[in-house]
Structure 1
Amino acid sequence: MKFSHSIQFNAVPDWTSHYINYSNLKKLIYNLEKTIHQTHPEHDAESSPLISSDEDPDVIFQRALDAELEKIGQFYELKELEIYGEVTELLRDEESYEEETEQFDPDQLDSSNDRGFNRGGRPRNGSMFQSLGFHGFGSRKRRTSTMSASIDDINEEGDSDDDAGDLAALTKTQSMKERRKTYDANAQSIDDLRSSREYGSAKRRPSQTFDEASDNAFSLLVAYGMTLKKRTTGLYVSLCELKSFIQLNKTGFSKACKKYDKTLDRNIKSSYVKSRVNAAYPFKPSTMLHLEENIANVERSYAHIATKGDISSARRELRLHLREHVVWERNTVWREMIGVERKAQAANMGIRRTLLGGDHDPSNARLQGDEPDEMEKQEIVTPVGRLTCPRWLFSSTFFMLVAILAVFLVLLVVPIMEQEVQQNCLALVVFVSLLWATEVIPLFVTGLLVPFLAVILRVVRSDESHLRLDAKSATKYVFAAMWTPVIMLLLGGFTLAAALSKYSIAKLMATFVLSKAGTRPRTVLLTNMFVALVASMWISNVAAPVLCFSIIQPLLRNLPSDSDFSKALILGIALASNIGGAASPIASPQNIIALQNMSPEPSWGIWFIVALPVCIISILLIWLLLLVTFRPGRGTTIVPIRPMKDKFTGVQWFISIVTLVTIILWCVTHQLESVFGDMGVVAIIPIVLFFGTGILTKEDFNNFLWTIIILAAGGLSLGKAVSSSGLLDTIATTITEKVEGMSLYGVLVVFTALCLVVATFISHTVAALIILPLVHEVGAGMKDPHPNLLVMGSALMCSAAMGLPTSGFPNMSKSH
């Protein structure tokens, strides 16, 4: 979580405006950065910087920090005075309460009154204290009574079950001996006492006995103790919030100075924190020591009241109260804050969608004040009356789904293939391909439909006898095809990518390389493209553009909004990430699918020998095209990217070594086939080492792209079903006859062109799932069979299909 969000959601809601304004300090840092790096030959009002460049940026930023420091110090001193005063008063009241409790010896009271306190339904021997959570005070010496609090206000509308919550603050002081005299003179019952505000004004009734007065005094004392317990708990929470206030603000100053040093290449953090922050009153060691002493005093006070003097038990109970308070805040105040923020974001998206002429969205309409029922339902007139239907029934997506189902049913009924099993399999392939191409339902849901329909339609045959399998045998066959070593290889790739990203190894290496690029626009552009290529090889072409865009943010901030170089840079990173998706077997799912359809399966070394030259040449061609199109060198001043100053830790070295060893083993798997058997087994090594040592957690495991894994598993099961039914052989034989006169490279051009067109309009992974099994069969059926060549070429072309903004994730991330 970013610190600006952390300070927002960890702050005490009532003190929000008194914390360090980290967001404004970040904005000031970026404005100072622009002031330093931008030159403005034309001194017009719009292009001139907001901050004068004549003044030293260090002075400007430290002035802003000083203002924040003064604001925080003034608030803290007032709040400390208020809370510490309440603590002092609490400690005095606790001592008085202890003394007065010792005067009420339950055994003596029982001996002086045969009925004891059971008269009012109360247990004997002081068990009322224990039942209410007050266990006495041990062997502390009795001191002369100095004060006892009286009830200033009682909620007359409350019932007896809410005695602890309905009693108001005890503010007036009075001797318990004097109160007992008042009770002797008082002719009213305990109920009349609770409705009275002036206990000393009542006259003595002769019928009032000493036992009843003692009973009333004891009841009042118990209520007083319960209020003391609530006050102690509330003060403990306030002191902990005060401690959190100090720690959160001190972290804020440290992070703000670090951000300033990193962005403007300065070094003020150590000097400013040492000379100004640590010297400020809230952050002095003596201040924290005094705060800890008050927390300890409150813990001791709570122990005397509630836990028989057991400090450890008191500390556990108080921490439980603190945890409940935080949970309450998260479920009320914080949830409301997050809800407001999300509504604001949704409103902005709705406005932007409207400005761009987007479709009508029910959620946007609700934000604009329309009623949900009107937006989600629609009435239609029928011969039997009006019928209210959900609005989505009239959407284009629903009609498209109905049309796909109609095509599916027609293919099941109209005979096209000679065998029923192939006819059903053709219907299955067309149905799933249309769902994947149109995305009327999520892609992974369609993947899960494949094993279901393969079993229901009985499209699976035995590999030996070619007889249709029954439902039970077909289920085992299809599900066995869904989990293969290729899926384990995909999981291994996700594990390496998660570790390299989580511990900033990829970012450290990328910033180091980019810092050597200099300030020439064309060199910076080419370097960024190659960094995107390498990042896509190891952390996937999904995460690589996100990483690269975050690295170049300082560079983009200092370029004009209409800069041609910024357009070329963003587009170059997106296209290079697409090309990088073909550079290694784990770079993208289509490569995993290609490995599944290649026999024998090539090693990583062979893949690199084929793919890397193609990728490098493609990057250079794209770079030349961007230079010709945008001419990014004209009037462009580049702010050099500085390398991260963090040194490699032991964990980062361990991750790097495990990653290199895993890649080497993948490259030589064929030579070690007798040991590991398959690359999927090697993929288990990083999974066990990273998750077993705690470097990655179960949250990281849950964050894997499981939708991609399920999609790939569904595609593998579809390929197995199509091959088992014989449909693949039939289609491949037909295509082979059509291309019989063509050379091997002519066939390669045909299939790569097909992949280019299909993958441009639909997902690269979906295109590979549909086309690559067919390519393999056609290649195997040729007179001069070269199935691996055709599959490899088609897989590379799937990654190269990027003609539309929606052609692959890198393009979509660029458009956003």
Structure 2
Amino acid sequence: MKFSHSIQFNSVPDWADHYLAYSNLKKLIYQIERDIVASSITAANDTEVISSITEQSPLLDAKSRANAIFIPALDKELAKINVFYLNKEKEFLEEVEILISDYAAFENLEDNVSIHSNAFNISRSYQSGEGSLPRKKSSSSQPKRRSTSDAAVSFMSSDDDEAENQFSQPTGGSRLSTEVDFLDNRLSFLWTPSSLEDQKIRLKKRTIELFVWLSELKSFSSLNYTGFSKILKKYDKITNSRLKSSYLNNVVNESYPFRHPTRQRLEDKISKVQEIYANLCTNANMDIAIRELKTHLREFIVWERNTIWRDIIGLERKAHAVGIKAPVTVDHSLEATSKISTPFGMLSVSSTFWRNVIILLICVGVFVFLLDASFFKREEQRYCFAILIFSSLLWSTEVIPLFVTSLAVPLLVVCLRVLRDDQNNRLGAKDAARQIFQTMFSPVIMLLLGGFAIAGALSKYHIAKMMATFVLSKAGTKPRFVLLANMFVATFASMWISNVAAPVLCLSLIQPILRPLPPNSNFGRCLILGIALASNVGGMASPISSPQNIIAIGIMERSPPTWIQWFFIAIPLCIIIDLLIWLLLLWNYEPTKNSSIIHPIRSSKDPWTGTQIFVIIVTVITILLWCIEKRLESFFGDMGVIAILPLVLFFGSGILTKEDFNNFLWTVIILAMGGIALGRAVQSSGLLHTIAKSIQAMVGDLHPWHVLVIFSTLVLVVTTFISHTVGALIILPIVFEIGVKLSDPHPNLLVMGSVLMCSSAMGLPISGFPNMNAIMMEDEMGVRYLSTMDFIKTGVPASILALVTIVTVGYGIMSLPLIGY
């Protein structure tokens, strides 16, 4: 968790304004980097090449000016913390002294109850003539009674004060008898067992409350000290300074809240409170007392901060689950809402809700209409066509989550009985259910899980990041080469950690480059867009780089391509398309005309650990086994079995945990399973054969290249507006069947070309996750780098260039005898 979240997570809500303003200081650091450090290096560039600058005067002057801005900001925060701490410490220490005094008085009362009771019995005996009390003795006992009575005053309520006024007015008799009557009445009023127990409960509550607040003050000091340490570390890293050691030692450590005597004084008061609690509640057992007080502290914190913790933890878990930062949410409070009266009360619904309801009703209406339409002779084909169109509409409009639609597919397939056996007889519900579930959990799903395990391990142990920073550190400072290096790194990372996580990794790595750039910098927009487009291209680079590739392998199950064949086709295409997009970006944005200075990315200096080496070895062995799977088919049987290897080794060794397994993209897995189920239904019902035969009649005896151009263009248009995976689910089964029916059959060639085209659709911000992530990128001032026009200006031409490359170079490679497509 970031420290800016941690300080909010652990702070006392009522004291929030008095903690170190960590986020503001971090923004100040980025502003310093942009306005001072970068400008100084630019000035130095007028006289010599940047690469020759080491520790010369312009840079030193920049550091001095940076310190002159940053140190006063730190001093201001430190003064704010000092004032607040002094006030709170004074308040709490006074409360501790009052508690000690009150506890001593209570203890004195408790110890002397029996003595006073005996004295009152003797006094009663003297008054009734049952005994005699010496004068001297009675006078000597009087001060004791008075002192005890005075001590009880501090524990009296307003009712007690009235009782005291009542009993302080003697009505007659001797002084001794009057005093005895007064004390007898007072003790009968004050010193009953229930009254003593009430006072004890009040003391216990005060002790717990004071322990909580003293612990909060201790946490306040510790958290702020950590904040100073972290913000100074960040400042030193970004500005290449050495301020942390001197400022911490000479300023922070000498400030009142962080001095050793101050901390020791607070610890002593906490120990005293613990001792009082032990005497009150645990028969002086300190271990039990400390344990109980800490339990009270936890309960208080959970009650007080429940909402804050829940919100922050929720955001962090969502972000970690997909390896991205928390998404920007829409403020639905700004939408038009209406109220509906229900038996359970009024229900507020938004305009988005009504829109989704209308779309869903239209989809259901189309589904019901198609169930009775006479487009096909056989009933199972008619029902299967209705399921296909219904699922496609739901996937395209996303009125319900994509994975929910996938879950509905097997339900409809079984209930409508669209599956047939080998003799073309409709299967019953029981046999259909068994067959569809066997189909859904196919080796392709295990391959997807194995890919997630490899991606999770490479990301969790920063292996991908270390390799990426090493490559980017060699890119230099020339804009064109920095752009090209980042694009190739994004494509390569997408091969192994998917094109969902790769752009997030790469966009985080370029933050040191983006921060010093001036607002609206052409190079900043160019760089972010380049990484997004290259990540899309990387989605075609390996069988596990995107879900649509897994779907294509499942469709080509009769003779799927080996990993070597896939690399032989996809990697040259990725390189060519990346280079074409690079040239397009240079032509559109002309980043070389910008005079901004690019900070080189520093490679990681951390040594490789044993865990990282183990992860790399397992990953390499798994990929090699996938590449030679055909030769090992008699032993492993399928690539899905090989995918179990990283799952067993990573989870069995504890490298990945149960939480990592839960954070797999299960929605994507369910989506793929639904697609497999739909494909099986379309094939088993005979619908696919019928549709392919109809399309075959339209395309006639066209050459496979012409069919590839037609379907690649169709895929490009469709997947520009809907999910790449959804487009593959709908179109690829039809493409395969048409390829089989051609006079010169090339089903794998057509499917391979079409699935590569799925990843190349990148014309809009909604065309794939890399584009969505890129358009949400903001600078430190909250201003977005990209707009929709950037994607239209660059993404649409890039998609067309990818289409031309796939149907020319790609077709040529796939037609080679070595590939056999």
Give SS of 1:640's match: coil
> Where does residue 169 of structure 1 map in the other structure?
none
RCO higher in structure (CA 8 A, sep ≥6): 2
> Where does residue 296 of structure 1 map in the other structure?
271
**What amino acid is aligned across from residue 727 of structure 1 in structure 2?**
L
> Where does residue 386 of structure 2 map in the other structure?
427
Q: 1:311 to 1:68 in 2, by over 3 A?
A: same
**What amino acid is aligned across from residue 39 of structure 2 in structure 1?**
Q
Aligned residues: 709
What displacement does 1:489 show? Answer: 1.9
> Where does residue 129 of structure 1 map in the other structure?
none
> Where does residue 499 of structure 2 map in the other structure?
541
> Where does residue 178 of structure 1 map in the other structure?
146
Give SS of 1:38's match: helix
What displacement does 1:428 show? Answer: 1.2
> Where does residue 222 of structure 1 map in the other structure?
197
> Where does residue 13 of structure 1 map in the other structure?
13
Paired with 1:88 and 1:465, the residues of 2 have a C-alpha distance of 92
Paired with 1:684 and 1:791, the residues of 2 have a C-alpha distance of 26
What displacement does 1:337 show? Answer: 11
Q: Is 2:92 the counterpart of 1:100?
A: no
Contact 1:190 1:216 in 2 (8 A): no
**What amino acid is aligned across from residue 778 of structure 1 in structure 2?**
I
Q: Is 2:235 the counterpart of 1:277?
A: no
What displacement does 1:604 show? Answer: 2.3
> Where does residue 291 of structure 2 map in the other structure?
316
Moved more, 200-209 or 775-784: 200-209
Q: Is 2:765 the counterpart of 1:795?
A: no
Paired with 2:538 and 2:441, the residues of 1 have a C-alpha distance of 26
**What amino acid is aligned across from residue 277 of structure 1 in structure 2?**
V
Give SS of 1:584's match: coil
Q: Report 1:88-237 matches (<5 A).
A: 88-105=97-114, 177-178=145-146, 193=160, 196=163, 201=168, 203=170, 210=184, 213-214=187-188, 216-218=190-192, 219-237=194-212
Q: 1:192 to 1:24 in 2, by over 3 A?
A: closer
Pick aligned residue for 1:326 from 301, 305, 326: 301
Pick aligned residue for 2:538 from 558, 580, 590: 580
What displacement does 1:711 show? Answer: 1.1
**What amino acid is aligned across from residue 178 of structure 1 in structure 2?**
R
Contact 1:299 1:315 in 2 (8 A): yes
Paired with 2:262 and 2:143, the residues of 1 have a C-alpha distance of 36
Paired with 2:152 and 2:653, the residues of 1 have a C-alpha distance of 72
Paired with 1:644 and 1:707, the residues of 2 have a C-alpha distance of 34
What displacement does 1:79 show? Answer: 2.9
Q: Is 2:562 the counterpart of 1:594?
A: no
Moved more, 529-538 or 744-753: 744-753
Q: 1:690 to 1:32 in 2, by over 3 A?
A: same
* Offset from partner CA, 1:169-207 (integer Å, 9 cap, x none): xxxxx998326668999xxx9996376575874547898
**What amino acid is aligned across from residue 767 of structure 1 in structure 2?**
G
What displacement does 1:30 show? Answer: 1.2
Q: 1:650 to 1:427 in 2, by over 3 A?
A: same
Q: 1:195 to 1:226 in 2, by over 3 A?
A: farther
CA RMSD of the aligned region, Å?
A: 3.6
Paired with 1:178 and 1:740, the residues of 2 have a C-alpha distance of 117
Paired with 2:664 and 2:115, the residues of 1 have a C-alpha distance of 65
Paired with 1:414 and 1:760, the residues of 2 have a C-alpha distance of 31
Q: 1:589 to 1:447 in 2, by over 3 A?
A: same
Q: 1:270 to 1:494 in 2, by over 3 A?
A: farther
Contact 2:109 2:148 in 1 (8 A): no
Q: Is 2:455 the counterpart of 1:494?
A: no
**What amino acid is aligned across from residue 411 of structure 2 in structure 1?**
F
**What amino acid is aligned across from residue 577 of structure 1 in structure 2?**
S
Paired with 1:636 and 1:19, the residues of 2 have a C-alpha distance of 40
Moved more, 584-593 or 627-636: 627-636
Paired with 1:197 and 1:757, the residues of 2 have a C-alpha distance of 92
Q: 1:470 to 1:105 in 2, by over 3 A?
A: farther
Q: Report 1:484-633 matches (<5 A).
A: 484-598=442-556, 599-633=558-592
Paired with 1:74 and 1:190, the residues of 2 have a C-alpha distance of 35
Contact 1:261 1:269 in 2 (8 A): yes
Give SS of 2:241's match: coil
Q: Is 2:709 the counterpart of 1:749?
A: yes
Contact 2:737 2:747 in 1 (8 A): yes
> Where does residue 134 of structure 2 map in the other structure?
none
**What amino acid is aligned across from residue 292 of structure 2 in structure 1?**
E
What displacement does 1:249 show? Answer: 0.9
What displacement does 1:747 show? Answer: 2.6
What displacement does 1:753 show? Answer: 2.2
Paired with 1:216 and 1:251, the residues of 2 have a C-alpha distance of 51
Paired with 1:77 and 1:362, the residues of 2 have a C-alpha distance of 44
Paired with 2:143 and 2:709, the residues of 1 have a C-alpha distance of 102
Paired with 1:623 and 1:97, the residues of 2 have a C-alpha distance of 82
Contact 2:13 2:305 in 1 (8 A): no
> Where does residue 687 of structure 2 map in the other structure?
727
* TM-score, length of structure 1 as denominator length: 0.79
* TM-score, length of structure 2 as denominator length: 0.79
* Offset from partner CA, 1:285-336 (integer Å, 9 cap, x none): 4443443333233222211110011112111110111011101211378789
Q: Report 1:665-814 matches (<5 A).
A: 665-814=625-774
* Offset from partner CA, 1:194-233 (integer Å, 9 cap, x none): 7657587454789889498256314443332222212211
**What amino acid is aligned across from residue 73 of structure 2 in structure 1?**
A
Paired with 1:110 and 1:706, the residues of 2 have a C-alpha distance of 79
Q: 1:376 to 1:645 in 2, by over 3 A?
A: farther
Pick aligned residue for 1:68 from 77, 80, 96: 77
Q: 1:332 to 1:745 in 2, by over 3 A?
A: closer
Give SS of 1:323's match: helix
Paired with 1:29 and 1:560, the residues of 2 have a C-alpha distance of 15
Q: Is 2:438 the counterpart of 1:475?
A: no
Paired with 1:72 and 1:712, the residues of 2 have a C-alpha distance of 54
> Where does residue 136 of structure 1 map in the other structure?
none
* Offset from partner CA, 1:540-581 (integer Å, 9 cap, x none): 112222222222223222223232222221221111011001
Give SS of 1:513's match: helix
Give SS of 2:424's match: coil
Q: 1:438 to 1:54 in 2, by over 3 A?
A: closer
The sequence identity of aligned pairs, in percent, is: 53
Q: 1:297 to 1:815 in 2, by over 3 A?
A: same
* Offset from partner CA, 1:359-406 (integer Å, 9 cap, x none): xx962057xxxxx5xx3469xxxxxxxxx9977599554443333323
Give SS of 2:376's match: coil
Paired with 1:597 and 1:427, the residues of 2 have a C-alpha distance of 21
Contact 1:417 1:423 in 2 (8 A): yes
**What amino acid is aligned across from residue 470 of structure 2 in structure 1?**
F
Give SS of 2:17's match: helix
Moved more, 243-252 or 701-710: 701-710
Q: Is 2:231 the counterpart of 1:241?
A: no
Contact 1:184 1:213 in 2 (8 A): no
Judging by fraction of residues, say which structure has more helix. 2
Q: Is 2:1 the counterpart of 1:26?
A: no
Q: 1:181 to 1:83 in 2, by over 3 A?
A: closer
What displacement does 1:665 show? Answer: 3.1
> Where does residue 168 of structure 1 map in the other structure?
none
Contact 2:20 2:77 in 1 (8 A): yes
> Where does residue 620 of structure 2 map in the other structure?
660
What displacement does 1:789 show? Answer: 1.9
What displacement does 1:111 show? Answer: 13
What displacement does 1:657 show? Answer: 3.4
What displacement does 1:73 show? Answer: 3.3
Q: 1:194 to 1:645 in 2, by over 3 A?
A: farther
Paired with 1:307 and 1:82, the residues of 2 have a C-alpha distance of 27
What displacement does 1:680 show? Answer: 2.4
**What amino acid is aligned across from residue 31 of structure 2 in structure 1?**
N
> Where does residue 132 of structure 1 map in the other structure?
none
Paired with 1:456 and 1:272, the residues of 2 have a C-alpha distance of 72
Q: 1:265 to 1:510 in 2, by over 3 A?
A: farther
Paired with 1:790 and 1:107, the residues of 2 have a C-alpha distance of 103
Unpaired runs of 5+ residues, structure 1, are 42-51, 114-173, 340-347, 354-360, 367-371, 379-387
Moved more, 517-526 or 551-560: 551-560
Paired with 1:290 and 1:805, the residues of 2 have a C-alpha distance of 59
Moved more, 713-722 or 71-80: 71-80
